[in-house]
């Protein structure tokens, strides 16, 4: 959940490391730090932002090696001492680490028994000391890394340097991403490719249990047995991993406004010359399966709820699970189950746990992800990429719409139904209409609800699934308590919470349930709720708040999700909150 950067041999490693840290601070923003070599190991770190860190490092730094880290605290509170980089007891090893070392308590005990002492509470400091302990014993850094990797359990992406080999960064990885960027006269490392694209678009992605080193003109990677391996460099599309704000004040706003281009790109990728473009084996496996299980977390789970319904439309039997629930009580009914996992980041620990179980049971599986090269992309049997461009804002927006779009197309391909593509294209007009005309109105609603303690969203069927996402988005970034309720459930309990002035946001886009939803509106209005209704043109009434153009009602999460996203965005903005980096959250949740 944290971010790592490192550079060797650049004219200005400081420039790369700080630019990189700024790009990665969406992954973790409790604290940040850097370390470099200049007549000894120098470390600067503190609680707070990368901007703050910049104010405490020297203006001029002369070095050809530097590492940096942005932290999202897991082991040890967000204090200066727990901030990375960490240095070993005898000042020989300096490292940054992402992930969680599960057996760090035992390792710490071992080191305490060897007269080591610790300044902080982190598992990462234990690894720095373990590296030093074996380095002092073996005198050989490659043997040391092999030994340490055989002892540490858990997830790690680590880069470190020693006090005596001043031109080399070491890298090791398991279950947490680490990418090497190849340059001319320099080499880079980072927890994802994005901070490096200004310098290179050639990358090497480390696999689990691989390790190696980089100097200014050499990259050497070894497998876990310590045998050198020849890794193929991959080329990445600069545009899709760019973090450029393109003039927008926040990534979230930029990403909401990228929704039409995201949907368009998916249509053009997966539907060409009048035909769906999916792997034939994937379609065959899906066709032959007798039950499809969707597994995901958070927003991606909400997309899975929609996707399940899409497949049911074409007579597939489905169930949907939250990953952390399925992981401990896995069920897979039918003789030929097929697992569909959904993950924007492709690195979510709960899902990686599920994939382990899926593999143990030899279940066919697919990952739908926005992150090519991620752990789930590499390890699932099939992978469909969302091609949405990097999503920086912690609150997922365009990736959610992309997930639903792709699921609609996949279902369309299975049902041989090309109308889906037409329906998706029609959604684009609706999205543009919202972008062009409704932002001032949504801002007004945001002003009205920003000081409320609680907000309710009501919908049925696909509008209920959208309500779940709308509610999650609002609570994530505005910290207002909110709930989504299926219209029909209102009377079965939640109506007890409706009182004078409470905002209730209602989606009415499904002709079959519109009149029942009107009934729900009456029920909450009678109890004093302030109702805001979003309705499609053919179901619209003059008292409603917003009228959107008609679209195929099953595509609510594509056509009108941006209303929910803008609302959350403008409420957070009106409250003066940090929209892109909400408290306590991280962009990729790499711990269970």
- Catalytic residues, by residue number, are 2, 587
> Shortest approach of ligand F6R to residue 396 CB, angstroms?
3
Q: Which is nearer to ligand F6R, 61 or 306 (CB)?
A: 306
Is 155 an interacting residue with respect to ligand F6R (CB under 6 A)? Answer: no
Is 174 an interacting residue with respect to ligand F6R (CB under 6 A)? Answer: no
3-state secondary structure 347-413: CCHHHHHHHHHHHHCCCEEEEEECCCCCHHHHHCCEEEECCCCCCCCCCCCHHHHHHHHHHHHHHHH
Site for ligand F6R in 377-396 (CB under 6 A): 395-396
Q: Which is nearer to ligand F6R, 377 or 417 (CB)?
A: 377
Q: Which is nearer to ligand F6R, 420 or 472 (CB)?
A: 472
Tokens of 82: 């727990």
> Shortest approach of ligand F6R to residue 297 CB, angstroms?
4
Q: Is 42 exposed, middle or buried (0-12, 13-18, 19+ CB in 10 A)?
A: middle
> Shortest approach of ligand F6R to residue 55 CB, angstroms?
31
Q: Is 190 exposed, middle or buried (0-12, 13-18, 19+ CB in 10 A)?
A: buried
Closest-approach residue to ligand F6R (CB): 298
DSSP helix/strand/coil, 473: helix
> Shortest approach of ligand F6R to residue 484 CB, angstroms?
14
* CA separation, residue 478 to residues 48, 367, 447 (Å): 21, 30, 12
Residue 40: name the closest of 4, 65, 8 by CA: 65
Of the candidate residues 187, 344, 375, 482, the single one contacting ligand F6R (CB under 6 A): 344
Is 589 an interacting residue with respect to ligand F6R (CB under 6 A)? Answer: yes
Is 374 an interacting residue with respect to ligand F6R (CB under 6 A)? Answer: no
Is 20 an interacting residue with respect to ligand F6R (CB under 6 A)? Answer: no
3-state secondary structure 44-90: EEEECCHHHHHHHCCCCCCCCEEEEEEECCCCCCCCCCCCCCEECCC
Any residues with CB less than 8 A from the CB of 303 and at least 6 apart, and which?
Answer: 296, 342, 400, 403, 404, 407, 557
Q: Residue count at the site for ligand F6R (CB under 6 A)?
A: 15
Q: Which is nearer to ligand F6R, 348 or 471 (CB)?
A: 348
Which listed range, 8-16, 110-118, 337-345, 481-489, lies at the site for ligand F6R (CB under 6 A)?
337-345
Length reported for the chain: 592
Of the candidate residues 189, 293, 297, 420, the single one contacting ligand F6R (CB under 6 A): 297
Q: In the chain, count of helices (H) and strands (E)?
A: 19, 27
Of the candidate residues 476, 547, 559, 560, the single one contacting ligand F6R (CB under 6 A): 476
**Ordered DSSP codes for 532-568:** EEEEEGGG--TT-SEEE----GGGHHHHTHHHHHHHH
Q: How far is it, in rounded angstroms, from Cα 421 to Cα 427?
A: 10
Which listed range, 106-114, 131-139, 258-266, 339-347, lies at the site for ligand F6R (CB under 6 A)?
339-347
Tokens of 54: 């910049």
Cα dihedral 57, 127, 91, 37 sign: negative
Which listed range, 29-37, 234-242, 274-282, 338-346, lies at the site for ligand F6R (CB under 6 A)?
338-346
Site for ligand F6R in 396-455 (CB under 6 A): 396
Which listed range, 136-144, 175-183, 237-245, 298-306, lies at the site for ligand F6R (CB under 6 A)?
298-306
Is 304 an interacting residue with respect to ligand F6R (CB under 6 A)? Answer: no
Which listed range, 151-159, 295-303, 324-332, 480-488, lies at the site for ligand F6R (CB under 6 A)?
295-303
Q: Is 253 exposed, middle or buried (0-12, 13-18, 19+ CB in 10 A)?
A: buried
Is 252 an interacting residue with respect to ligand F6R (CB under 6 A)? Answer: no
> Shortest approach of ligand F6R to residue 348 CB, angstroms?
3
Kind and range of the H or E run holding 142: helix 141-151
Per-residue binding letters, 530-569, with ligand F6R (x by CB under 6 A):
----------------------------------------
Q: Which is nearer to ligand F6R, 190 or 355 (CB)?
A: 355
Q: Is 383 exposed, middle or buried (0-12, 13-18, 19+ CB in 10 A)?
A: buried
Buried/exposed code over 5-34 (b: 16+ C-beta within 10 A; e: otherwise): bbbbbbebbbebbbbbbbbbbbbbbbbbbb
Is 345 an interacting residue with respect to ligand F6R (CB under 6 A)? Answer: yes
Alpha-helix runs per DSSP H in 438-576: 439-449, 462-478, 514-526, 556-559, 561-574
> Shortest approach of ligand F6R to residue 591 CB, angstroms?
11
DSSP helix/strand/coil, 227: coil
Q: How far is it, in rounded angstroms, from Cα 423 to Cα 513?
A: 20
Residue 140: name the closest of 152, 151, 148 by CA: 148
Alpha-helix runs per DSSP H in 203-348: 251-257, 259-270, 280-288, 298-313, 323-326
Is 588 an interacting residue with respect to ligand F6R (CB under 6 A)? Answer: yes
> Shortest approach of ligand F6R to residue 265 CB, angstroms?
18
Q: Which is nearer to ligand F6R, 129 or 374 (CB)?
A: 374
Q: Which is nearer to ligand F6R, 324 or 435 (CB)?
A: 324
Q: Which is nearer to ligand F6R, 123 or 476 (CB)?
A: 476
> Shortest approach of ligand F6R to residue 580 CB, angstroms?
11
Which listed range, 235-243, 341-349, 412-420, 517-525, lies at the site for ligand F6R (CB under 6 A)?
341-349
> Shortest approach of ligand F6R to residue 586 CB, angstroms?
8
Q: Which is nearer to ligand F6R, 281 or 578 (CB)?
A: 578
Q: Which is nearer to ligand F6R, 33 or 298 (CB)?
A: 298
> Shortest approach of ligand F6R to residue 104 CB, angstroms?
25
DSSP state of 464: H
In the chain, the largest separation of any two C-alpha atoms, in whole Å, equals 80
Q: Which is nearer to ligand F6R, 172 or 327 (CB)?
A: 327
Is 343 an interacting residue with respect to ligand F6R (CB under 6 A)? Answer: yes
Contact positions toward ligand F6R, by CB under 6 A?
Answer: 297-300, 343-345, 348, 351, 395-396, 472, 476, 588-589
């Amino acid at each position: 959940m944290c971010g790592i950067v490192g550079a060797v041999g650049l004219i200005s490693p400081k420039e790369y490391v700080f630019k990189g840290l700024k790009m990665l601070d969406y992954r973790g923003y409790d604290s940040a730090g850097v370390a470099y070599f200049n007549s000894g190991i120098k470390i600067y770190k503190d609680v707070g932002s990368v901007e703050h860190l910049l104010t405490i490092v020297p203006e001029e730094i002369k070095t050809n090696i530097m590492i940096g880290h942005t932290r999202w605290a897991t082991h040890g509170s967000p204090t200066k001492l727990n901030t990375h980089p960490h240095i070993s007891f005898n000042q020989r090893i300096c490292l940054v680490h992402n992930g969680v070392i599960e057996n760090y308590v035992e390792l710490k005990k071992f080191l305490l028994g060897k007269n080591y002492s610790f300044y902080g509470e982190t598992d990462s400091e234990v690894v720095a000391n373990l590296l030093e302990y074996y380095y002092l014993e073996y005198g050989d850094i490659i043997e040391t890394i092999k030994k340490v990797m055989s002892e540490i359990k858990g997830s790690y992406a680590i880069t470190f340097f020693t006090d005596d080999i001043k031109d080399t960064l070491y890298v090791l990885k398991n279950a947490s991403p680490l990418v090497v960027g190849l340059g001319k006269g320099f080499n880079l490392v980072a927890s994802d490719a994005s901070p490096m694209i200004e310098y290179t678009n050639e990358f090497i992605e480390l696999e689990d249990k691989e390790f190696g080193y980089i100097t200014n003109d050499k990259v050497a990677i070894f497998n876990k047995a310590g045998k050198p391996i020849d890794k193929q460099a991959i080329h990445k599309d600069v545009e899709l991993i760019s973090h450029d704000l393109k003039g927008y004040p926040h990534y979230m706003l930029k990403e909401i406004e990228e929704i039409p281009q995201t949907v368009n790109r998916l249509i053009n990728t997966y539907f060409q010359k009048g035909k769906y473009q999916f792997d034939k084996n994937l379609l065959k496996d899906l066709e032959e399966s007798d039950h499809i299980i969707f597994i995901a977390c958070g927003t991606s789970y909400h997309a899975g709820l929609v996707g399940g319904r899409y497949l049911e439309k074409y007579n597939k039997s489905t169930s949907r699970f939250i990953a952390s629930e399925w992981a401990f009580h896995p069920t897979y009914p039918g003789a030929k189950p097929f697992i569909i996992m959904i993950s924007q980041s492709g690195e979510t620990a709960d899902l990686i746990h599920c994939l382990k179980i899926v593999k143990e049971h030899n279940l066919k599986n697919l990952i739908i992800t926005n992150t090519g090269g991620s752990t789930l992309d590499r390890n699932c049997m099939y992978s469909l990429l969302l091609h949405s461009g990097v999503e920086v804002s912690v609150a997922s927006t365009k990736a959610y719409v992309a997930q639903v779009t792709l699921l609609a197309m996949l279902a369309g391909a299975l049902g041989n139904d090309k109308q889906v593509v037409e329906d998706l294209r029609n959604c684009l007009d609706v999205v543009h209409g919202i972008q062009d005309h409704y932002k001032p109105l949504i801002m007004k609603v945001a002003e009205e609800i920003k000081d409320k303690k609680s907000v309710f969203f009501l919908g049925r069927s696909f509008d209920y699934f959208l309500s779940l996402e709308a509610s999650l988005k609002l609570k994530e970034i505005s910290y207002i308590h909110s709930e989504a309720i299926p219209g029909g459930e209102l009377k079965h309990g939640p109506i007890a919470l409706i009182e004078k002035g409470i905002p209730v946001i209602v989606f009415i886009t499904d002709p079959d349930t519109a009149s029942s939803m009107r009934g729900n509106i009456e029920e909450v209005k009678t109890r004093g709720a302030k109702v805001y209704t979003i309705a499609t043109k053919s179901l619209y009434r003059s008292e409603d708040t917003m009228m959107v153009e008609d679209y195929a009602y099953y595509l609510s999460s594509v056509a009108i999700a941006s209303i929910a996203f803008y609302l959350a965005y403008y409420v957070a903005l009106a409250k003066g909150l940090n929209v892109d980096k909400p408290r306590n959250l991280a962009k990729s949740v790499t711990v269970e």
